[in-house]
Amino acid sequence: MFDLSTRDIKFISGVGPQKAAVLAKEVGVRSLHDLIYYFPYKYVDRSRVYRVNEIDGNMPYIQLKGQILGFETVGEGRKRRLMAHFTDGTGVVDLVWFQGIKYILAKYKTHEEYIVFGKPSVFNGRVNLAHPDIEKKDEPKLSAVGLQPYYNTTERMKRGFLNSHAIEKMMTIVIGGMNDPLPETLTPRILAKHHLMPLTEAIRNVHFPPNPEVLRRAQYRLKFEELFYVQLNILRYAKDRQRKYRGYVFNKVGQRFNTFYERNLPFQLTGAQKRVMKEIRGDMGSGRQMNRLLQGDVGSGKTLVALMSMLLALDNGYQACMMAPTEILANQHYETIKGLLAGMDIRVELLTGSIKGKRRESILAGLLTGDIDILIGTHAVIEDTVHFSALGFAIIDEQHRFGVAQRARLWSKNAQPPHVLVMTATPIPRTLAMTLYGDLDVSVIDELPPGRKPVTTIHQFDVQRESLYRSMRQQIGEGRQVYIVYPLIKESEKIDLKNLEEGYQHIVGEFPEYQVCKVHGKMKAAEKEEQMQRFVSGQAQIMVATTVIEVGVNVPNASVMIIQNAERFGLSQLHQLRGRVGRGADQSYCILVTTYKLTEETRRRIEIMVRTNDGFEIAEADLKLRGPGDLEGTQQSGVAFDLKIANIVRDGQLLQYVRRVAEEVVESDPASELPENDILWKQLKALRKTNVNWAAIS
């Protein structure tokens, strides 16, 4: 048998170097092995054809067979959509397209037999299928296919003729050609004891399941394996790290910390901030390298904790650095921290991609001589050219935007890795964090500074524009500022940018008496900065932006956050955006604008947002609502692990279960020397080589 892991996918017939390059770039699939581990995100039950009169809004993907009676375009501008009235004689259902209208009209004819696949939903009391797949076939292929797999693809993949069907074909070739079994990755003992399907069978059936029951068993086996190795990795290697990495000992609370605390600190710390400071001080004095995750809802005051911990490092003769995911955020941290340290003899510098030439050289020199105490920046901070004289402490803000690989690079900035504090506003339920990160300690700021008025959240439909503008006028009239956010998600970048641009023009036309600025990720850093500055300074009253403002931006005078197409955002992202307002003393508002047409899940998301401001409640709900195949969800996932098939919440019980299985292995074979476990240790090694997350975390 050839080795799947070294066999390049370009050798599959019909693939070739170009498609191979797209697959590698877009979804990281390079070898045949990668390919067979690229699992479907959904399946369509092709084992039967449904009748129109039996479908309802709660069904999964189904297929129908019938004809299009006629087409109709409805709505104007961005809401323009094409409807096809489809019937099989038992009733009529609407097929709806929001994009590609011309293409659809040219491709499909009335009064011809089609097989239509889609997910039914209900709008205005009528069932419809949005963006269905349509095939022209005289007869549907029935149970011969069983469940048909659907694979996630990106825009660029589709343009490169790599849609779900194409991937399905590749799978057929590779899996059909697997004459020998794949090398098993679990021991016979584990397979037998936990009634698991052998690997080869599981792979075959996860792509081409004959029926739902077999699919379930195949998925179970693969999830078991995935979670088992995550746990085995933690149990086997976490202890090594503790032995390997000693930590700098910061046992002094010195002049800088005390001066700040007594003279500069503008308010009382909250109880939660005090508790977390204690935890951090404990770690820093322990002789072990600190590796701590600090969770705190937006606005809970993480920056202050970060700063005070940095002062501890300084008092003990070390430098500190802080990395933010965007330039805007790095700038803002820099300004905030300089402000808080006013009058103290501490040199703080900013390093980002746009700081170049002499300025950059002087900063690099200052870091080496130790003249610079605190460095704040973006990824630029971990570039190879940046050397410190004595980096003792590093903070990563908003971790979900940072790869764990980058975190690992930080470690090499001093002879012994610095203490690391990772701050995030995306809370991961505590038990989950412990199980997943193993040795990463978790601190939580679960209390907001006093005097905050909770943000009032309102859901509006996009046709209620007039009332929306009235509220905006009123707030701006009272001296407040307003954010308007548009979605920008990779999949449909061009359309999104167009929406943002149209929205901007519209607002400029609607509010001639006010200044409007615009910020999105495709702008040059300098231009972005200038636009941002217009808003921060109060010169502009309205900011039209994409989610680049999602993390950390602090403009206390902004009291209204309007989120357009709120249905396209995930819960934690909505919560992050909402956190941009409600930072001052005034009552703030978050307005979620959606179309009328909402899926059940979206409706629930919006309801949760309207009901609560509690970040933890939202995080839990988010994890529960999110499906494993939800693109948007994976994009904003706060979890460092890139799980291919398991879902940490839905499979929470399995996670606990395999934790025990992994514990048994480690306990009964502490030195990893039992021949029967060879398979496991070999596989773990192989995984650690390919999974950068694992090597970095443990």
Of 261-269, 280-288, 407-415, 626-634, which segment contacts ligand ADP by CB under 6 A? 261-269
- Find which of Mg ion, ligand ADP, none residue 121 binds, CB within 5 to 8 Å per kind: none
Question: Taking the mean position of all CA atoms in its chain, how far away is CA 283?
Answer: 29
Task: Answer with the entry of ligand ADP, Mg ion, none that 449 interacts with (C-beta below 5 to 8 A by kind).
Answer: ligand ADP
Pick between residue 147 and residue 444 the one whose CB is nearest to ligand ADP.
444
Q: Is 552 in the site for Mg ion (CB under 5 A)?
A: yes
**What's the min distance (Å) between Cβ of 446 and ligand ADP?**
12
- Give the Cβ contact number of residue 363 at 10 Å: 20
Residue 69 three-state SS = strand
The footprint of ligand ADP on residues 594-613 (CB under 6 A) is none
Q: Residues binding ligand ADP: what is the number (CB under 6 A)?
A: 18
Name residues contacting ligand ADP, limited to 419-448 (CB under 6 A): 425
Q: Which helix (H) or strand (E) holds 668?
A: helix 652-668
The CA–CA distances, whole Å, from 578 to 261, 503, 517, 547, 609 equal: 30, 20, 19, 11, 9
594's contact among ligand ADP, Mg ion, none, with CB below 5 to 8 A by partner kind, is none
Closest distance to Mg ion from the beta carbon of 423 (Å): 7
Tell which one of 303, 499, 547, 572 touches ligand ADP (CB under 6 A). 303
Q: Is position 573 an interface residue for ligand ADP (rule: CB under 6 A)?
A: no
Minimum CB–partner distance for residue 333 and Mg ion (Å): 8
Tokens of 672: 């990893």
Q: What would the two tokens of residue 628 be? A: 């494993």
Q: Where are the alpha helices (H) located in 417-513, listed in sequence order?
A: 430-437, 465-477, 493-510
Interaction between residue 265 and ligand ADP (CB under 6 A): no
Q: Is 132 near Mg ion (CB under 5 A)? A: no
Q: Which is nearer to Mg ion, 552 or 570 (CB)?
A: 552
In this chain, which of 153, 273, 316, 683 binds ligand ADP, going by CB under 6 A? 273
Considering beta carbons, is residue 335 or 669 the nearer one to ligand ADP?
335
Using the structure block, give the residue that is written with the tokens 């029951």: 213
| 121 part of the interface to ligand ADP, by CB under 6 A | no
CA distances from 5 to 1, 2, 183, 686 (A): 12, 9, 11, 11
The single-letter DSSP state of residue 58 is T
Q: How many CB atoms lie within 10 A of CB 132?
A: 23
Identify which of residues 425 and 696 has a Cβ nearer to ligand ADP in the complex.
425
Among the listed residues 330, 272, 338, 257, the one whose alpha carbon sits nearest the alpha carbon of residue 302? 272
Under 8 Å between Cβ of 150 and 44: yes
User: Is 418 a binder of Mg ion (CB under 5 A)?
Assistant: no
Helix (H, G, I), strand (E, B) or coil at 5: coil
Tell me: does residue 269 bind ligand ADP (CB under 6 A).
yes
Least CB distance from residue 612 to ligand ADP, whole Å? 17
Question: How many chain residues bind Mg ion (CB under 5 A)?
Answer: 1
Provide, rounded to whole angstroms, the least separation between the CB of residue 367 and ligand ADP. 25
Nearer to ligand ADP, 247 or 582 (CB): 582
Vertex 260 angle, CA 259 and 266, to 5°: 130
Which of 103, 161, 245, 267 binds ligand ADP (CB under 6 A)? It is: 267
User: Near ligand ADP by CB under 6 A, which window of 114-122, 285-293, 302-310, 496-504?
Assistant: 302-310
Least CB distance to ligand ADP at residue 411 (A): 24
Does 146 bind Mg ion (CB under 5 A)? Our answer is no
Nearer to ligand ADP, 233 or 332 (CB): 332
The one of Mg ion, ligand ADP, none whose footprint includes residue 301, by CB under 5 to 8 A per kind, is: ligand ADP
Identity of the amino acid at 383:
E
Q: Is 270 a residue that touches ligand ADP (CB under 6 A)?
A: yes
First to last CA, the chain: 34
Residue 571 and residue 351: Cα distance in Å, rounded?
32
Token pair of 527, please? 């231009």
Task: Please report how close the Cβ of residue 597 comes to Mg ion at its closest, in angstroms.
Answer: 35
> Binding residue for ligand ADP (CB under 6 A) from 40, 120, 296, 438?
296
CA quadruple 97, 100, 105, 109: dihedral, nearest 10 = -70
| Residue 298 makes contact with ligand ADP by CB under 6 A | yes
CB of 386 to ligand ADP, least distance (A): 24
- Give the tokens for residue 562: 């309007």
Q: Are strands 120-123 and 114-118 parallel, antiparallel or unpaired?
A: unpaired
Binding-site partner at residue 300 among Mg ion, ligand ADP, none, CB < 5 to 8 Å by type = ligand ADP
- Which residue's CB comes closest to ligand ADP? 301
> 3-state secondary structure string, 583-637?
CCCCCCEEEEEECCCCCHHHHHHHHHHHHCCCHHHHHHHHHHHCCCCCHHHHHCC
SS3 548: helix
For residue 427, state whether it binds Mg ion (rule: CB under 5 A): no
Binding ligand ADP (rule: CB under 6 A), the pick from 57, 91, 370, 449 is 449
User: From the list Mg ion, ligand ADP, none, which binds 269 (C-beta under 5 to 8 Å, kind-based)?
Assistant: ligand ADP
Taking CB under 6 A as the binding criterion, the range among 172-180, 276-284, 299-307, 494-502 that sits at the site for ligand ADP is 299-307
* CB 576 to Mg ion: min, Å: 10
> Which of Mg ion, ligand ADP, none sits in contact with 583, Cβ below 5 to 8 A by type?
ligand ADP
Task: Write out the binding residues for ligand ADP, residues 322-341 only, by CB under 6 A.
Answer: none
Among 300, 426, 683, 698, binds ligand ADP (CB under 6 A): 300
Two structure tokens written together for 598: 């909402």
Order the strands of the 348-351 sheet from edge to edge. Answer: 348-351, 374-377, 319-323, 391-397, 419-424, 291-296, 441-445
Beta-strand relationship, 391-397 and 126-130: unpaired
Tokens of 441: 């300690």
Q: Which of 164, 150, 151, 141 is nearest to 47 (CA)?
A: 141
Among 583, 597, 605, 626, binds ligand ADP (CB under 6 A): 583
DSSP state string for 336-379: HHHHHTTTS---EEEE-TT--HHHHHHHHHHHHHT---EEEESG
Shortest Cβ 174–ligand ADP spacing (Å):
47
Two tokens, residue 223: 């999830």
The distance from CA 422 to its chain's CA centroid, rounded to whole angstroms, is 16
Rank residues 146 and 427 by Cβ distance to ligand ADP and give the closer one: 427
Shortest distance (Å) from residue 512 CB to ligand ADP: 33
Reported residue count of the chain is 698
Q: Which residues contact 418 (CB under 8 A, 6 or more apart)?
A: 248, 289, 318, 391, 392, 393, 394, 410, 411
| Closer by beta carbon to ligand ADP, 219 or else 300 | 300
Question: Footprint of ligand ADP on this chain (CB under 6 A)?
Answer: 267-270, 273, 296, 298-304, 425, 449, 552, 554, 583
Q: Which residues bind Mg ion (CB under 5 A)?
A: 552
